[in-house]
Amino acid sequence: MGCSSCASKSDGLPKGCKSNGNCGVDSCNKLTVFDWLSDVELPAGSEPFDAVEVRFKNGRKEFFRNTDKLTLSIGDIVATETSPGHDIGIVTLTGELVKVQMRKKKEDPYKPDLAKIYRKANQKDIDIWQKAREREDAVKVRAREIAIRLNLKMKISDVEFQGDASKAIFYYTAEDRVDFRQLIKEFAYEFKIRIEMKQIGFRQEAARLGGIGSCGRELCCSTWLTDFRTVKTAAARYQQLSLNPLKLAGQCGKLKCCLNYELDSYLDALKDFPRQDKKLVTKKGEAVCQKIDIFRFKLWYTYEGEYNNWIELDTKAVKEIIKAEKEGKPVASLEEFVDDTPEISTSFENSVDQDSLTRFDKPKRRPKKRSNKKKPASQKSRGHKNQKKSNPQKSNKDNKSQGSRHRKPKKQNKPKSNNEKQ
């Protein structure tokens, strides 16, 4: 549960907690529990619960006893008891709500052998812890090289150093049992620390490493999902999904956890549908179900031998046909129950003079640029001369036509009279 005022600035840093990208109260972690009992006062004479919840790397949480009655609050860095040495963690929960969390995880809140908190971490403890955390990536790469050299069928997914840098936990995944006795010897010789190997599942590996799913968002297991329930292929069948392992599998290689999210809604909707393996008996012949649409309550049937001709029916019509068959009065054909009413289109219509939604998809045609530069007079005269030389016939014709236009009409010769002749 994030801060109520947590938002991003222009540079990408959160402005709610003002911790330069790291929440100071540790309220942006996926496993953080909101302490809704923090403002409730305890009854008179009662002491607060002395256990504290502490978080380590990648959401690993454990409970510790505050025997020295230190004043701890959420976000404090503390040194806790481990075997051997001590570890460094962050307090995530205090008070009465810790008792509720312990009971939820089936732990006894009052067991005497619960590990205790030594002290609040000083600067020396924090420096050693930070140096150990900086070594984890290099150690993980080297550990993978050693495992490959020993031909072990395993994958080292993550390395977690203890707070005092005296021990490291190597998390690995493997399909079968692995004999890593020689591997531990080489790790101890190479890194000079105590080694602990922990096998995790493929889903836990994806949760620790994180990533982006096919939906475009962060993986559910790395953001908010904490319990990994089994996912079966029947969930995909109920939702009418194609059984393609490439599309149904997540980054962990197993079926996606989101197949279980809407499964209950599909199962409730399928209660109103007849069985798909039930054949419809008519006088024309028997029909087999080919496809169903759960949201529209539609079914498609075909007669045996005419598998290219699909007939669309709704659930009410199918139930009537099955009922008539049980009464011994089968219907004539399925075509009698076809609904010919046109469907209402839900597509976008420009009914209020709105612009088209795809108006930006088509590229705009830019007009050709015309050069407005004026040519000098010398080039113009040369151009006219070249044109006259290249087309002399055309120029002569033009001159003739122009001359014919401006030519004066000829005078007609009148016959001379006798006086003029003399």
The amino acid occupying position 234 is A
In this prediction, residues 370-378 reach a mean pLDDT of 60
Q: Which residues are CB-neighbours of 244 under 8 A, at least 6 positions away?
A: none
pLDDT of residue 358: 73
% of the chain surpassing 90 pLDDT = 40
Of the listed ranges 5-14, 52-61, 69-78, 176-185, the least confidently predicted one is: 5-14
Task: Quote the pLDDT of residue 344.
Answer: 64
Q: Is the pLDDT of residue 414 over 80?
A: no
User: Residue 25 has what pLDDT?
Assistant: 45
Question: What whole-number distance in Å separates Cα of residue 385 and Cα of residue 378?
Answer: 11
**Between 386 and 199, the higher pLDDT residue:** 199
Higher pLDDT, 413 or 234: 234
Burial of 294 (0-12, 13-18, 19+ CB in 10 A): middle
Per the prediction, the chain carries an average pLDDT of: 80
The band of 338, judged by pLDDT with boundaries at 50, 70 and 90, is confident
Regarding pTM above 0.75, the answer is: no
Residue 24 has pLDDT above 80, yes or no: no
For 359, the enclosing helix (H) or strand (E) is none
Three-class SS state of 218: strand
Contact 172, 201 (CB under 8 A): no
**pLDDT the model gives residue 346:** 60
Residue 293 has pLDDT above 70, yes or no: yes
Lowest mean pLDDT among 20-34, 80-94, 238-252, 379-393: 379-393
10 Å CB burial of residue 93 (0-12, 13-18, 19+) is buried
Residue 148 scores a pLDDT above 80? yes
- Of residues 52 and 15, more confidence is placed in 52
Percent of the chain having pLDDT more than 70?
A: 75
Q: Higher pLDDT residue, 208 or 20?
A: 208
Q: What separation in angstroms does the CA of 341 have from each of 72, 184, 307, 344? A: 70, 73, 24, 9
State the pairing for strand pair 194-199/167-173: parallel
Q: What average pLDDT does the segment 179-191 reach?
A: 92
272 confidence band (pLDDT: 50, 70, 90): confident
Overall average pLDDT of the 6-18 stretch:
54
pLDDT tens, position by position, 86-113: 999 999 999 888 998 899 888 999 888 8
Lowest mean pLDDT among 15-19, 65-69, 152-156, 221-225: 15-19
**pLDDT at residue 15 tops 90:** no
Which residue did the predictor score with more confidence, 387 or 208? 208
35, 42 Cβ separation under 8 angstroms: no
Count CB atoms within 10 A of the CB of residue 14.
19
Strand ordering across the sheet containing 51-55:
61-65, 51-55, 86-93, 77-81, 117-120
Q: Where are the beta strands (DSSP E) in 77-153?
A: 77-81, 86-93, 117-120
Give the pLDDT score at 295: 86
Task: Of 153-167, 246-260, 272-286, 331-345, give the lowest mean pLDDT range.
Answer: 331-345
Looking at residue 403, what is its pLDDT?
47
